[in-house]
Structure 1
Amino acid sequence: MLKVWNMWLVFATFWLALLGTFLTRSGIISSVHAFAQSSIGSWFAWFLAITFAVFVTAFVMNHSHLKSEHKLESLVSRESSFLFNNLLFLLACFTVLWGTWFPKLSEWIQHHTVTVGAPFYNKVAIPVALLLLLLTAMGPLLAWRKTSTESIRRNFQWPALGALVVGVLMMIFGVRPWADISYFYALMAAMLGVLVILTVISEFVRGGRVISRHTGQTLVPSMVHLWHRNTRRYGGYIVHFGVALVFIGILGAAFNIETEKEVGFGDKMTLGPYTLVCQSYTQDSNPNYDNEWAIINVFRGNRQITTLYPERRVYQASQQPQTIPRIYATVWEDYLFLVKDLYVVYEGKNLDTGRPIIKAHLNPMVPYIWLGLVIMIFGTAIALVPNAAPVRVTAPARTFCLPIRSFFGSYKSLFFVLP
């Protein structure tokens, strides 16, 4: 099934990798990622054309071997979820490709350059990402070939109810999805992330209960035994869990807050529930770089929780500045699901007053991104563990008798023993 589709996906992946190299090496598109223009661009263009011709030739010569033995029987099946997944990734790929080439195409056609920025990508990438998250939740619970309505209802009932409860709670605590599109996306990401997490948990619990009934073990050892029987499947579920946490971390961007202020000794700036107090500021110089930094005490209420040292350097050799922010994760001050990252940046110095300009950001949920990545790596690692060897049980020998006729004309019983 989908042999032709898979073959062209492989071709397109390789060809687009070459195209990316062409863009950065030829200088055809101005970008911070591009190298200077060189004569290698024309050579690469010919190489791209030859490569595409090789792909077409290979496909034509092997077309008879790519006929599928099976057909897609239902749109509500695990096979169709893989297909929709591929289509969404292709849409995301085309969005990036179109946005990258659009300035050059507009220059060729309209004779003036039109650039695209983050709003263009967000209009497509965010809905695509949410649909991918929905497929991440649905895929494991769909059956091969065809899934019945009763099966969908039974498998999705509790995860969907949990996701709905999370959405209602977010609106009760102040998230207004109708007021801003970013709040709507954040609400959807939270609900779908919870849906993925609950479907993964339900798969482990459902399989663990089956093992527990047959072995008499408790639920947790039964789930470990379940993982040993199919490490790739359940390791993949753990990766899905990590992906959901990454999305939950990203949704916090809708609630980011920031402030900027020129501060002197003892001056304060407020950011959410935190108060930043400038204890002092100074500058220094060494053979490698000149630097300026401030000492910022961070308070929550009347309690000091940490001290940060944002810094700005200017390197002697290149005269290039470098801003070194300081980050504090509020793990111990907030509830686990409201954890934030506090960024404090030394923006520079006001030349008229000699006082530093401090910019502070409070970004909710960012630690979930790192936690999700760690869980994804862990899930990948355990998916690589070989499955446990099946246990072989020696069965007792079976005996039966077969009547045969003896040369005396009577029947006798002859016993056969089978291993």
Structure 2
Amino acid sequence: MLSTLGYASVIAGLMGALLAVAAGAHAGLGRSGGETSTALARRAAYFAFFAMSGGMAVMEVALLTHDFSVEYVARVGSLETPTYYTAISLWSSLEGSILFWAWILAGYGALLAFTRRREWDAHRAAGGRVTAIQGGLAQGLRTTPLVIAVIGVVQLFFFGLLAGPANPFGIVDPAPLNGPGPNPLLQNHPLMGLHPPMLYFGFVGMTIPFAFAIAGLVRGNVEARWLRDSRRWMVAGWAFLTMGIIGGGWWSYEVLGWGGAWAWDPVENASFLPWLTATAFLHSAMVQERRGMLKTWNLSLMIGTFLLTLFGTFLTRSGVIDSVHAFTEGVIGPVFLGFIAFVALGSLALIGWRSNRLHAAGQVESAVSRESAFILNNLLLVGFTFTVLLGTMWPLVVEALRGDRISVGPPYFDSVASPIGLALLFLMGIGPALPWRRTSREQIARSFAGPVIMGLTAGVGALAFGMRAFLPILTIVFAAFVLTTIFQEFQKGIAARRRIAERSVGGALADLFTRNGARYGGYVVHVGVVVIALAISVAWTWKSEREMTLRPGERLAIADYEIEFVEAWGREEAHRYVIGATFDAYRDGREIGQEQPRLNFYTATQQTIATPSVKSSLTSDLYLTLMAVEPERGEHVTVRAIVNPGIVWLWIGGMIMGLGALLAIWPRRRDRMQAVGAELVAEPAADAPPRVA
């Protein structure tokens, strides 16, 4: 019953997506019937979302009621798995993750249709006179249906997977009495309820800006309008992706027991690649809006970002790589490659078709200007993307050509990431402080004297505290430089608001975010990046590690911590057997509590997973991993102890980045007041000559 109902929901969603494509294309490209077709496309987007929501609800009911007649539940369900992990096992395997992805995609499509409803409301309020007043059809009245149609095409692909090779609602007859449960690694920490959804919302969120780019190309609108329309969607997707990556590092740190947060795993890289190109796009889009440059570049970045999200999905679900993050081998790899090729070739064809409208209206007037800094920033980010992509794919290329299995490990990626990351950190301080077009020597001296002094002072301080490694010291120098330039930008903005509006310092600061949230929210994001860079530099420079076998009452000393082994213990839980050890922890001779690292044995899969114990503070983490318990030797235990100074600031920096993104996209009164009028801007007909930006 549930299988039939769930599959019917998928088919209904597929029909809704098909209708959205047909109606949206007719409204965006047709000569008549635009209002009726647009309304139909919008309602089709709503219907697709409600249909996929039905499918999601059916699957969750099947998981929580342990209906093993549903194929997906039989594969990942278990009577012993706790309810929380049973619910989130929706995204623990191939078919369920595709269902979750499709539901989010349908939700984005419905939200887009809902937020753009003002266009036709304004059109009707004007009595249909907009075209006569403006001399051409208002841009949103044609572009939005096309955006819905492009989203519908992507939905057709994912909904089609669910209806075919990735159907999670297959019927198992006879139904088993129990299942194996999800992968033990995916039911070992509550963060699995946060990390994957954030990544999914980020990956899928890149579909909306991509749809705006494709719709703009089809309509011939390649000026800055499509950038403004898609900016909040892009920042939101980027923020979700950022939180997903940071959450993934936190999950790795808390679950895998190795004491690190990033290992350059192929699937980690697959999430990092679109983040890099999306970051590049958010910077270069400002150059196009302000100077009319980089039109082809921005379109290529947006399309490339979407393609990289598809590529990351292909890596995770095709079975071509071995990773703790990857799903078991499926049959959808070739289908994904086909869709990636379709999107890439179709996008290139559209860019070629509109090449006569992609000539830049502006040009770089000086090497020392904001646009030059942003262009260099983009080149570094894209270069970083290429080198990470090369390192990720090279083992697959070698295996395909020669049959040999090789690996590209962290040394390669670290050697690339360190210099590029430092250069990007430096540019974060340079770019915002430079004016557009050109800069005088007096402006340079006025803008950068303070930051340079603060940076050098911080470097001397690092040396005084015993830091001798060159790259960490340089990181601290650049971090102080960037933070000072950001402080100066806030200081200038606050002074201007106090002078103009006679506001208090707090009121002037609030005005900066309410009047120009995109700019000052971006500065907050930069602060988060600096905090993360400092956390990595400090944690990896002063990290301490020891491994030792202890008997009850014996102690292990590391850095300013000591741990004393108290006892070993064991207990049986519904879905696993747990062996743990209790340690009294001391810092500078003062007891700070008890820690209990564990070994979890999952009987269904015969796997043992270590769960570390982490004692966090703002200055350092004490990280204990239980390596072995030897009861035959009188309860000897082997424990690995790691002290990571300042690593908690890695997670705090991620939260600051998320806060900055939220400030950048938060709706403001001026935006709401202009929302309707901004939609009614004339757009050239598809065959009209290009406008000069």
User: Do structure 1's residue 243 and structure 2's residue 493 form an aligned pair?
Assistant: no
1:36 CA displacement:
4.9
How far, CA to CA, are the matches of 1:303 and 1:328 in structure 2? 14
1:84 CA displacement:
1.5
Report the equivalent of 1:51.
343
1:381 CA displacement:
2.1
Report the equivalent of 1:163.
455
Judge conservation of contact 2:568–2:579 (CA < 8 Å) in 1.
yes
Report the equivalent of 1:282.
569
Residue aligned with 2:614, SS: strand
Report the AA paired with residue 370 of structure 2: R
1:270 CA displacement:
0.4
User: Do structure 1's residue 226 and structure 2's residue 512 form an aligned pair?
Assistant: yes
Number of aligned residue pairs:
377
Report the equivalent of 2:439.
147
User: Do structure 1's residue 319 and structure 2's residue 606 form an aligned pair?
Assistant: yes
Report the AA paired with residue 356 of structure 1: V
1:352 CA displacement:
5.0
1:194 CA displacement:
1.8
1:111 CA displacement:
4.9
Which one is further off, 54-63 or 376-385?
376-385
Report the equivalent of 1:255.
542
Which one is further off, 121-130 or 32-41?
32-41
Which one is further off, 141-150 or 295-304?
295-304
Aligned mate of 1:204, from 490, 496, 500: 490
Judge conservation of contact 1:205–1:223 (CA < 8 Å) in 2.
no
After superposition, the C-alpha distances for 1:57-87 in whole angstroms (9 at most, x for unaligned) are 2112100111111112122211122212221
Change over 3 Å in CA distance of 1:157–1:61 after alignment to 2 = same
How far, CA to CA, are the matches of 2:661 and 2:329 in structure 1? 40
Aligned mate of 1:186, from 459, 472, 484: 472
Judge conservation of contact 1:326–1:345 (CA < 8 Å) in 2.
yes
How far, CA to CA, are the matches of 2:327 and 2:574 in structure 1? 31
Residue aligned with 1:260, SS: strand
How far, CA to CA, are the matches of 1:85 and 1:293 in structure 2? 49
How far, CA to CA, are the matches of 1:253 and 1:63 in structure 2? 48
Aligned mate of 1:76, from 344, 353, 368: 368
Identify, as 1 or 2, the structure richer in helix.
Answer: 2
Judge conservation of contact 2:364–2:437 (CA < 8 Å) in 1.
yes
After superposition, the C-alpha distances for 1:189-247 in whole angstroms (9 at most, x for unaligned) are 22222222211111111222233344555434333333333222112111111111111
How far, CA to CA, are the matches of 1:346 and 1:249 in structure 2? 26
How far, CA to CA, are the matches of 2:337 and 2:548 in structure 1? 51
Report the AA paired with residue 131 of structure 1: A
Report the equivalent of 1:341.
621
How far, CA to CA, are the matches of 2:544 and 2:657 in structure 1? 29
User: Which runs of 5 or more structure 2 residues have no equivalent in the other structure?
Assistant: 1-292, 672-693
User: Do structure 1's residue 87 and structure 2's residue 379 form an aligned pair?
Assistant: yes
How far, CA to CA, are the matches of 1:215 and 1:46 in structure 2? 57
User: Do structure 1's residue 6 and structure 2's residue 279 form an aligned pair?
Assistant: no
How do 1:275-314 residues align onto structure 2 when only pairs under 5 Å count? Answer: 275-314=562-601
* TM-score where L is the length of structure 1: 0.83
Residue aligned with 2:431, SS: helix
User: Do structure 1's residue 355 and structure 2's residue 654 form an aligned pair?
Assistant: no
Change over 3 Å in CA distance of 1:111–1:206 after alignment to 2 = same
Report the equivalent of 2:74.
none
Report the AA paired with residue 444 of structure 2: I
Report the AA paired with residue 329 of structure 1: S
Residue aligned with 2:571, SS: strand
Which one is further off, 79-88 or 103-112?
103-112
Residue aligned with 2:577, SS: strand
After superposition, the C-alpha distances for 1:168-196 in whole angstroms (9 at most, x for unaligned) are 111122111xxxxxx22211222222222
Report the equivalent of 1:404.
none
1:128 CA displacement:
1.2
Residue aligned with 2:583, SS: strand
Identify, as 1 or 2, the structure richer in strand.
Answer: 1
Report the equivalent of 1:408.
none
How far, CA to CA, are the matches of 1:243 and 1:385 in structure 2? 20
Judge conservation of contact 2:314–2:336 (CA < 8 Å) in 1.
yes
Question: Looking at both structures, which has the greater relative contact order when contacts are Cα pairs under 8 Å and sequence separation is at least 6?
Answer: 2
How far, CA to CA, are the matches of 1:285 and 1:113 in structure 2? 40
Residue aligned with 1:106, SS: helix
1:19 CA displacement:
3.1
How far, CA to CA, are the matches of 1:136 and 1:323 in structure 2? 40
Aligned mate of 1:368, from 639, 646, 649: 649
User: Do structure 1's residue 264 and structure 2's residue 551 form an aligned pair?
Assistant: yes
Q: Percent identity?
A: 33
How far, CA to CA, are the matches of 1:202 and 1:41 in structure 2? 50
Judge conservation of contact 2:617–2:648 (CA < 8 Å) in 1.
no
Give the structure with higher Rg (CA): 1
Judge conservation of contact 1:340–1:362 (CA < 8 Å) in 2.
yes
Report the AA paired with residue 446 of structure 2: R
How far, CA to CA, are the matches of 2:569 and 2:417 in structure 1? 44
Let me know the Cα RMSD of the aligned residues. Answer: 2.3
How far, CA to CA, are the matches of 1:374 and 1:46 in structure 2? 37
* TM-score where L is the length of structure 2: 0.51
Aligned mate of 1:329, from 611, 616, 629: 616
Report the AA paired with residue 300 of structure 2: W
Report the equivalent of 1:61.
353
Report the equivalent of 1:381.
662
How far, CA to CA, are the matches of 2:622 and 2:436 in structure 1? 46
Change over 3 Å in CA distance of 1:125–1:282 after alignment to 2 = same
1:303 CA displacement:
1.9
After superposition, the C-alpha distances for 1:227-278 in whole angstroms (9 at most, x for unaligned) are 3332221121111111111111111212111111111111001010111111
Residue aligned with 1:370, SS: helix
1:20 CA displacement:
3.3
1:18 CA displacement:
3.0
Residue aligned with 2:492, SS: helix
User: Which runs of 5 or more structure 1 residues have no equivalent in the other structure?
Assistant: 177-182, 332-338, 391-419
1:387 CA displacement:
4.8
Change over 3 Å in CA distance of 1:246–1:51 after alignment to 2 = same
